[in-house]
Structure 1
């Protein structure tokens, strides 16, 4: 069967090479973010832009499997597709690594986390009701860290991700790219009253797990593998909310007091030159250990 490509505009149909405002307010860029945005359809989709070098005059495509999937989805969804010069894509995407594609979209809709209050019983939290694992990112600022944490969360099966209503990284296209598109898939919520939210979770039997860069060898919990998690892992049958803190300040004190246990990735030595891990790396390690401990 011959693959039929969607009709697209060429750069000659662009009146100028000056950046134009996104129709929906944002441009998601990169192969994985664009593909997952098309699949998830959480945003309103307006127009797909493709590097014209990837399209011949006859409209046939280079053999890039991800690009083929993207254009198939664009055709299925009757989405306008335009070929444009690489330098225009550079300008539109802020010279980020766009891999030859960007997508005009609306901003990502985010739900209010407080709407979940009263739904913390195991029977109310979805298909993984027996062992739910949720994540709260406490004021993470760097978009690359934010995106990497989302990527690890998606990989390790976190069902819901929460962020504070202020002092948090914007959910930008850069975050989507850093997350390899996980931002487009995750169930994301804003919490304006995280302390109240977590207090109710604890009353319903949830285990609140904090993270810390402080290592206390006297409370070391032996664990298989080259790294060790210090302090107490949660009971494997408990619903868990994991909190990861700000790059410089860690978890807010009022949230730290709610933690039932605190996890830390132990260093190889006590007096090494590097005092802590990047928050995204530490989160990936902690989620890996939690997911192993919670397997049936």
Structure 2
């Protein structure tokens, strides 16, 4: 065993010595099993100038100098030069047109930061809404009046009387301020409308036409206030309570109908209702600025405390008051509303567009009224959806107008 190990060591040493000697003599050695060049012969292409024993520059001058000369002399009338100059002139003209087009909007872009909507302001738009806002004193103050084109003389006179600065603006700027509303080329930047929060209603003086109520100043702190109502056409006032009306267009339409028909004031639940935005003012055609608006924080407490303090009558709308036996004794027909304001001060409660008046409000109301649906003979081509009529109710603003008209009818 020892002899075999010694033999291997001697063989390894001998082989190492041979390799060292080859490296010292700079003799190239390759393993034939991994040599690629040995089995793949390498060939190189002989260049044309090498075949003739010339350098590259001399070869090309001798053989291709005439082609280069003919290329220079092939455009004796400078057609290519004129073509290049024409293309450059077209590019210059297009660039100038582009810069001229951009310069038209340069001024308006610089003005835009000054017309950026202010979150603390309302932008009342529309001719009637702006005139009503300038005439009424429901807003603390107005900042400026923006208009495009020719300003209405009535608006200009009102703005001059109360010293409101007037500025010209582009139609695009007015579209941005009004969220693409129909502004009639006039926008009034003003403070948001101020409302009075009421705790409950109190007595009414039919001789002087004064209605009293408690205004909420702070928590459990109230102050008596009053508003006047029209006592010439009726004995007692009529108010509309908007219970969770979410659509600003519906709210504006209700306020417009109420003001036109002779409602004395509007009550709005402070929570879950549309804010009194410029959209509401536009939809009401400016009636929002003219009719008294009161807000209620707790509708149920308001109804109960008002009924205890005085003889106010609350009438609630419902599509089917006889559906529940609790409401059947309170049900009224549309004709029963005639002359209601000559008997007692009245509040008409109008509910949400989809769900209607809340059930607890119905329980606390004195009467419940519905607008009857007039049956029509069914035609062969009539389309019905969901097992019933497609048109089975009225819009909340239209229904409110019909109810107001019946209450105020003598």
TM-score tier, shorter chain, comes to 0.7 to 0.9
Q: Distance in 2 between matches of 1:175 and 1:198?
A: 25
In the alignment, which residue of structure 1 is the partner of 2:407? 290
In the alignment, which residue of structure 2 is the partner of 1:58? none
Q: Distance in 2 between matches of 1:99 and 1:245?
A: 32
Q: 1:255 and 2:361 equivalent?
A: yes
1:29-68 matched pairs, under 5 angstroms: 29-43=125-139, 44-51=141-148, 53-54=149-150, 67-68=152-153
Where does structure 2 lack aligned partners over 5 or more consecutive residues?
1-105, 212-227, 377-387
Structure 1 residue 214 displacement after superposition:
2.4
Check the 8 A contact 2:321/2:368 in 1, yes or no: no
Tell me which moved more, 127-136 or 158-167.
127-136
Structure 1 residue 255 displacement after superposition:
1.0
Aligned to 1:15, the other structure's residue is in SS state: helix
Q: Distance in 2 between matches of 1:29 and 1:149?
A: 19
Q: Distance in 2 between matches of 1:290 and 1:22?
A: 42
Q: Distance in 1 between matches of 2:301 and 2:403?
A: 25
Aligned to 1:186, the other structure's residue is in SS state: coil
Q: How large is the RMSD of aligned CA atoms in angstroms? A: 2.6
Relative to total residues, which structure has the larger helix share, 1 or 2? Answer: 2
In the alignment, which residue of structure 2 is the partner of 1:210? 316
1:182-221 matched pairs, under 5 angstroms: 182-203=287-308, 204-214=310-320, 221=333
In the alignment, which residue of structure 1 is the partner of 2:345? 239
**CA offsets, 1:181-229, max 9 Å, x none?**
11111211110122122123223111111111227699784xxxxxxx2
Structure having greater relative contact order (Cα 8 Å, sep ≥ 6)? 1
Structure 1 residue 70 displacement after superposition:
0.9
Q: Distance in 1 between matches of 2:300 and 2:321?
A: 25
Structure 1 residue 272 displacement after superposition:
3.8
Q: Distance in 2 between matches of 1:230 and 1:216?
A: 17
The one of 175, 179, 182 equivalent to 1:97 is: 182
**CA offsets, 1:166-192, max 9 Å, x none?**
100011100110010111112111101
Where does structure 1 lack aligned partners over 5 or more consecutive residues?
1-10, 55-60, 62-66, 222-228
In the alignment, which residue of structure 2 is the partner of 1:84? 169
Q: Distance in 1 between matches of 2:321 and 2:359?
A: 18
Q: Distance in 2 between matches of 1:235 and 1:119?
A: 16
In the alignment, which residue of structure 1 is the partner of 2:237? 132
Bigger radius of gyration among the two: 2
In the alignment, which residue of structure 2 is the partner of 1:161? 266
| Paired residues, number | 262
Q: Structure 1 residues 220, 163: CA separation in 2 closer, same or farther (over 3 Å shift)?
A: closer
Aligned to 1:119, the other structure's residue is in SS state: strand
Q: Distance in 1 between matches of 2:341 and 2:144?
A: 48
Aligned to 1:201, the other structure's residue is in SS state: helix
Tell me which moved more, 29-38 or 258-267.
258-267
TM-score by length of 1: 0.81
The one of 179, 192, 203 equivalent to 1:120 is: 203
